[in-house]
């Protein structure tokens, strides 16, 4: 009589469990992990010699030979099945060479990071390099995926945009300005064309957004492409936009101080190229005036500066601003006719020396402001 009562006791300890597989629920009765696995093979018509099952209860996989965890009657178990033949085929097959692994992905990411940095290996048409300290640290062209509109087959590739950013950064006159003014810009980037449309929609008046400076030189974005995305803007126009944004490294609002600083940068740029041309320097076999497209402007630097500032201001400079510009010309001419990269000559007047001291003081203040902003950003992070 003891044997039948034991059998009845075992039947009573079996629990009703619900197996969920491929969106369907199947009821089984089991009292251990082994009986659950066996019941799942039978109930789901998955022979054990062809299929390997993974049954999860309360977030843990049931292991053969183990007892069931504390489950309530009617508990739901999730079932996953793998074909033994498919698993063995995957273990013995060779990896697809077109699919990169984790190590290859890390290597590709490292290469992309090196590409975005202003590396010394890249050479522009100027065949020059940036200053070691006062420079544009990274370049970021606008990819097709980030355009606010679908590009056409005639849209220049991002590679060409990067070359143009490098050309702007290694322009000898721009390099001289960066060094003389002690400017350092985190990222020189191409402005997404959609930014221009958003600005026009918000501000109206048919104005075009050609660039912007973020946090006094943390990044500078310049619109490189034309409105139809079929090409790039003229190089002299891009330089004017870059000089405009560099002036925002020191002065934020478009006040009289800003326009005077912008005029100084434009004058320094033109006179630097004029000095290079007079020395007979060639870049990629061409005159610097030809590469920069400023041959006509250097013939009358003052008129070119006034015209550029008036175009940006959409109004001519006031007489007081013109007088300040003339004073800047007269003071910097004492230093060899160019404020960029020119050393003071022996016998300069005290006025020229005091101007040099003022310029050095202004550069030190700009550097101190940049370091303060960098510390604030690190604290915020």
Q: What is the per-residue pLDDT across 133-158, written as a single tens digit (0 to 9) for each? A: 999 999 999 876 566 556 667 788 88
Predicted TM-score of the model (pTM): 0.61
Residue 148 to residues 143, 144, 161, 192, 195: CA-CA distances in angstroms? 11, 9, 16, 7, 8
| Token pair 């890249």 in the structure block, residue | 122
Predicted confidence at residue 250, as pLDDT, reads: 94
Q: What is the pLDDT of residue 9?
A: 42
At residue 374, the pLDDT reads: 72
pLDDT, residue 366, reads 67
Q: How far is Cα 23 from Cα 18, in angstroms, rounded to an integer?
A: 12
Task: Quick: pLDDT tens for 9-29.
Answer: 444 477 888 999 988 899 988
What integer pLDDT is reported at residue 72 of this predicted model? 84
- CA distance to 25, 186, 375, per residue, from 134 (Å): 68, 10, 18
Q: What is the pLDDT of residue 235?
A: 97
Residues whose CB is less than 8 angstroms from the CB of residue 245 and which lie 6 or more positions away in sequence, other chains included = 211, 212, 213, 220, 221, 222
Residue found by looking up tokens 């016998």 in the block? 347
Under a CB-based contact definition with an 8 Å cutoff, are residues 244 and 213 in contact?
A: no
Q: How confident is the model over 31-54, as pLDDT tens digits?
A: 888 888 898 899 999 998 899 899
Residue 266 near residue 250 (C-beta atoms within 8 A): no
Question: Residue 136 gets which letter from DSSP?
Answer: E
pLDDT for residue 15: 84
Q: Which pLDDT does position 259 carry in this prediction?
A: 95
Which residues does the chain have with pLDDT short of 50? Answer: 1, 5-12, 337-354
**How many other β-carbons are positioned within 10 Å of the β-carbon of residue 377?**
12
Q: Are strands 219-222 and 185-190 parallel, antiparallel or unpaired?
A: parallel
Task: Say what angle helices 301-313 and 256-278 make with each other, to 10 degrees.
Answer: 140
Name the residue with tokens 């006159």: 173
């Amino acid at each position: 009589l003891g044997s039948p009562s034991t059998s009845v006791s075992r039947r009573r300890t079996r629990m009703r469990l619900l197996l969920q597989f491929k969106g369907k629920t199947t009821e089984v009765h089991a009292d251990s992990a082994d009986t659950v696995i066996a019941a799942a093979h039978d109930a789901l018509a998955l022979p054990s010699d062809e299929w390997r099952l993974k049954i999860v209860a309360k977030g843990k996989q049931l292991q053969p030979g183990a007892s069931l965890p504390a489950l309530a009657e009617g508990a739901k178990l999730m079932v996953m099945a793998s074909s033994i033949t498919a698993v063995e085929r995957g273990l013995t097959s060779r990896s697809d060479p077109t699919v990169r692994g984790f190590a290859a992905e890390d290597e590709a990411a490292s290469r992309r990071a090196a590409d975005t940095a202003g590396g010394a290996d890249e050479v522009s048409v100027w065949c020059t390099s940036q200053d070691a300290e006062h420079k544009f640290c990274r370049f970021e062209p606008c990819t097709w995926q980030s355009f606010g509109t679908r590009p056409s087959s005639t849209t220049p590739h991002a590679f060409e945009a990067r070359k143009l950013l490098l050309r702007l950064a290694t322009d000898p006159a721009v390099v001289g300005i960066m060094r003389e003014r002690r400017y350092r810009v985190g990222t020189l980037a191409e402005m997404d064309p959609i930014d221009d449309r958003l600005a026009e929609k918000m501000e109206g008046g048919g104005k075009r957004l050609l660039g912007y400076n973020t946090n006094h030189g943390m990044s500078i974005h310049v619109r490189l492409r034309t409105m139809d995305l079929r090409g790039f803007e003229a190089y002299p126009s891009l330089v004017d936009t870059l000089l405009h944004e560099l002036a925002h490294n020191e002065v934020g609002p478009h006040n009289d101080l800003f326009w005077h600083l912008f005029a100084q940068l434009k004058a320094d740029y033109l006179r630097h190229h004029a000095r290079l041309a007079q020395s007979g320097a060639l870049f990629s076999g061409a005159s610097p005036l030809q590469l920069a497209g400023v041959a006509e402007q250097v013939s009358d630097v003052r008129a070119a500066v006034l015209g550029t500032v008036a175009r940006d201001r959409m109004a001519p400079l006031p007489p007081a601003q013109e007088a300040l510009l003339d004073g800047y010309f007269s003071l910097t001419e004492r230093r060899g006719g160019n404020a960029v990269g020119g050393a003071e000559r022996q016998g300069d007047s005290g006025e020229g020396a005091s101007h040099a001291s003022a310029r050095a003081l202004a550069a030190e203040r700009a550097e101190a402001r940049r370091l303060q902003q960098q510390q604030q950003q690190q604290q915020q992070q």
